[in-house]
Chains A and B, each alone.
Chain A
Amino acid sequence: MANGNTFTISILVENYAGVLSQITRLFSRRGYNIQSIAADTIERPDETRITIIADGDLEAAQQILFQLRKQISVISAKLLNPADAIQRSMVIVKVDGDTKEKRDEIIQISNIFRANIIDISLDCLTVSVTGAPDKIEAFIRLMTPFGILELVRSGIVTIERGKLTIHSED
């Protein structure tokens, strides 16, 4: 559902060549920028679950939803209300750690965030954090002063709270 100027949409599609471009085209055609996209197969190898967060108001969101449902590849599509949904993404940060003080401090912050130190050497650390988008933002902010050498971030995945699923009526 639209939250300020973005909306979150969860889509289940049949997985064949070209599906992802078919889906994303519907956003670009109307000039809605995609901020985050996550896609992977789930229970069945021939189905892909996609979560997209895009710019646009509720009207835009609903128009996209109907356009999505018109695609043969789309099994279900649903607008999610961020308040009723759990959102997670992951970031992996490579930070400069050329002194022991720096490294200690990075490890300390990482522990507070329940981050994983994946790789460590005498001059840098690679740390991954999973969590809600604001937690990820906070972690990146705290790492910035040490000098971020590289950063990769997954798209956000979302699931509804309670018993509701992508298949339940909205």
Chain B
Amino acid sequence: MKLTGAQIVMECLLEQDVEVVFGYPGGTILNLYDALYDYRDKITHILTAHEQGASHAADGYARATGKVGVCFSTSGPGATNLVTGVATAYMDSSPVVFITCNVASNLIGRDSFQEIDITGVTMPVTKSNYQVRDVTKLADVIREAFAVASSGRPGPVLIDIMKDVTALTADYEFIPKANHAKDSHMARLLQRKTNIIAYPEPDREAIRTVAAWLRASERPMFLVGGGVVSSGAAPSMRRIVELVNAPAAATILGQGVFRYDDPMFTGPIGMHGTKLSNLAFVEADLIIAVGTRFTDRVALNPGKFRDRKKIVHIDIDASEINKNVRVDLGIVGDAGRALEMLIEALGSDFEKKSNWVAPLLPETRKSAYRHESNLLKPDEILRALHERTGDNAIIVTDVGQHQMWTALHFKFSRPRQFITSAGFGTMGFGLGAAMGAKVGCPDVPVIEITGDGCFRMNLNELSTVEYYDIPVITIIFNNGTLGMVRQWQTLLYKSRYSETTLDRGPDFVKTAEAFGVAGYRASDLEGFRAALDAALKSGKAAVIDCIIDMDEKVVPMVPGGKHLNDFLID
């Protein structure tokens, strides 16, 4: 069957069961949008207010559903507007396929109107990217892009198609996704790139070694990252923790792998980890880290990090082993598979460890830090939120204090429940991502927790949630400051508040109303509960502006470079 390049793109999206695309049109991508018009019954397009919003929405969709998110944008400024979103997805290993169109091949390289070398620009922040100059290769490139984005360690992929390629025709044959691996192009790729698009079998000998170390260890501990979520390994993770009876801490992206009330779960770890997680880590004699990469927010001091302990690192990405922290044993493979093998290797006669973190508990309850205020307290808001939504809601955050408070105080109970820009720390991520999550999971409440700084960055997407009736509830922790930066200024820069006070508009309630979204203001717990109830009941998007004190702090805090138990405030 002869189809145009633009039609081939649509067909290939159908091969992948893509139902939703977030995007923004423009000159070079007109052919794609024209073809989309004929496919509008099968592929829903969400026109965002800004390409950055579309990029975060596709990312949020992917994180909430585990499916590949898809995002369209035109060349030039449309494409560069995606870059922050691409990088955000890259740093958190989120599978998104970005499709941009470039100027026609006769205009490439001439600094033509809206020309940008977007494959060059996004090279460092994509798992792979492609420029398509030949319509006969288009279908194979799209199939490859989806396979690369979603398999092994997931990540964003960008496809840049020249405008003329979208108009030219080529033979196209519909190949169902299940048969892609048998197709000649993909078969060859699979054979050649097993390390990035397949799942290497964990080394049996190494697994046996870990089992032996676990048996011998007195104070073993698990460190759980986002890889456990993306590999669907949470059930195995919970099982092994119960079997060993060892404490388990999670990175920001690992939240939800354990239920909040799991007796062995110690909470987040790192710069704003719980005291229990951080103290236990220092005491442990064996760390089994799974699907995590020891960033500088966790391995705050890579030198001291491995003091007096053995570290085992299980990860799908071989290049992560020994990258940030030298480990005693690295195992490359799928987290779920490796954990299942480890459970088997431990055998039925494995003797549970005694709960060695229990003696640390009194220490963790000591808190030197106090902040008095009559206004709403962040942890109160989060508790009240959980009371209303229970285990059901998906919580999406922006970046700053409100993000860390959410990680510390919200009671997560399942994987993919917490969506946040952890690795890149992208302010302005929240609303777009929440929108994408809600589109992907229409049956659960989606709550966006944001700060007044972050919300002001990309609140333009309120128009999108209103227009498409995407009922995301935004809760602003409005402290009148770029709180996280102010906290550093208070503690490390002698309270010199350089350019962090947000003593300015807009009035978020009025702003929401101007977009046609209900706005509420809450300055006490009663008010917050009433607003939340009304918002949940309405089934519509809403904004709740919560007034909190400017000097609330994220506690505990360990500054970068210090060891995990060297708290600046606790």
Contacts and interface: CB of A to CB of B under 8 A. Distances in A.
Interface stretch (A61-69, A108-116, A127-135, A153-161): A61-69
Nearest to B155: A70
Contacts of B128: 71-72
A18 interface: yes
B123 A22 contact: yes
Interface in A45-67: 59, 62-63, 66-67
A170 B422 CA distance: 36
B268 to A, nearest CB: 27
A17 interface: yes
B322 A63 contact: yes
B314 to A, nearest CB: 16
B211 to A, nearest CB: 26
Interface size class for chain A? 10 to 19
A88 B272 CA distance: 53
A62 B196 contact: no
Nearest to A59: B322
Nearest to B193: A72
B124 A29 contact: yes
B525 interface: no
B144 to A, nearest CB: 8
A62 B192 CA distance: 20
B120 interface: yes
A61 to B, nearest CB: 12
Contacts of A25: 123-124
A40 B323 CA distance: 31
A51 B464 CA distance: 51
A163 B201 CA distance: 29
Contact of A70 (B119, B120, B317): B317
Interface string B137-154: 000000010001000000
A168 interface: no
Given A18-B120, A25-B124, A63-B322, A70 B131 contact: no
Given A25-B123, A69-B318, A63 B323 contact: yes
The CB with the most chain B CB atoms within 10 A, among A21, A22, A29, is that of A22
B245 interface: no
Nearest to A69: B195
B319 interface: yes
Contacts of B123: 18, 21-22, 25
A67 B319 contact: yes
Contacts of A17: 131
A70 B319 contact: yes
B interface, size bucket: 20 to 34
B500 to A, nearest CB: 31
Contact of A75 (B119, B127, B148, B192): B192
A72 B192 CA distance: 9
B319 to A, nearest CB: 3
B130 to A, nearest CB: 9
A66 B120 contact: no
A25 to B, nearest CB: 6
B322 A62 contact: yes
A29 B125 CA distance: 12
Interface string A6-39: 0000000000011001100100010000000000
Interface in A125-155: none
Determine which residue in A25, A72, A75 has the highest number of CB atoms from chain B within 10 A of its CB, and name it: A72
A162 to B, nearest CB: 25
Contacts of B119: 18
A17 B129 CA distance: 12
Interface string B317-340: 111011100000000000000000
Contacts of A29: 124
Nearest to B317: A70
A66 B123 CA distance: 17
Nearest to A29: B124
Contacts of B195: 69-70
Contacts of A75: 192
B182 to A, nearest CB: 20
Contact of A72 (B131, B196, B319): B196
Contacts of A59: 322
A87 to B, nearest CB: 27
A29 B195 CA distance: 22
Interface string B110-142: 000000000110011001100100000000000
Interface in B146-199: 148, 189, 192-193, 195-196
Contacts of A66: 318-319, 321
A25 B119 CA distance: 13
B185 to A, nearest CB: 12
Which of A17, A66, A69, A75: most chain B CB closer than 10 A?
A: A66
Contacts of B131: 17-18
A35 B480 CA distance: 52
Contacts of A67: 319
Contacts of B318: 66, 69
A2 to B, nearest CB: 14
Contacts of A18: 119-120, 123, 131
B479 to A, nearest CB: 36
Contacts of B196: 69-70, 72
Interface in B78-131: 119-120, 123-124, 127-128, 131
Interface string A62-92: 1100110111100100000000000000000
A46 to B, nearest CB: 12
B120 A21 contact: yes
A63 B128 CA distance: 18
Contacts of B127: 70
A25 B121 CA distance: 12
Interface of A: 17-18, 21-22, 25, 29, 59, 62-63, 66-67, 69-72, 75
Nearest first, the 3 A-B pairs at minimum CB distance are: A66-B319, A72-B128, A66-B318
10 contacts: A18-B119, A18-B120, A21-B120, A22-B123, A29-B124, A62-B322, A63-B322, A67-B319, A71-B128, A72-B144
Given A66-B321, A71-B128, 19 more contacts: A17-B131, A18-B123, A21-B120, A21-B123, A29-B124, A62-B322, A63-B323, A67-B319, A69-B195, A69-B319, A70-B127, A70-B195, A70-B317, A72-B128, A72-B144, A72-B148, A72-B193, A72-B196, A75-B192
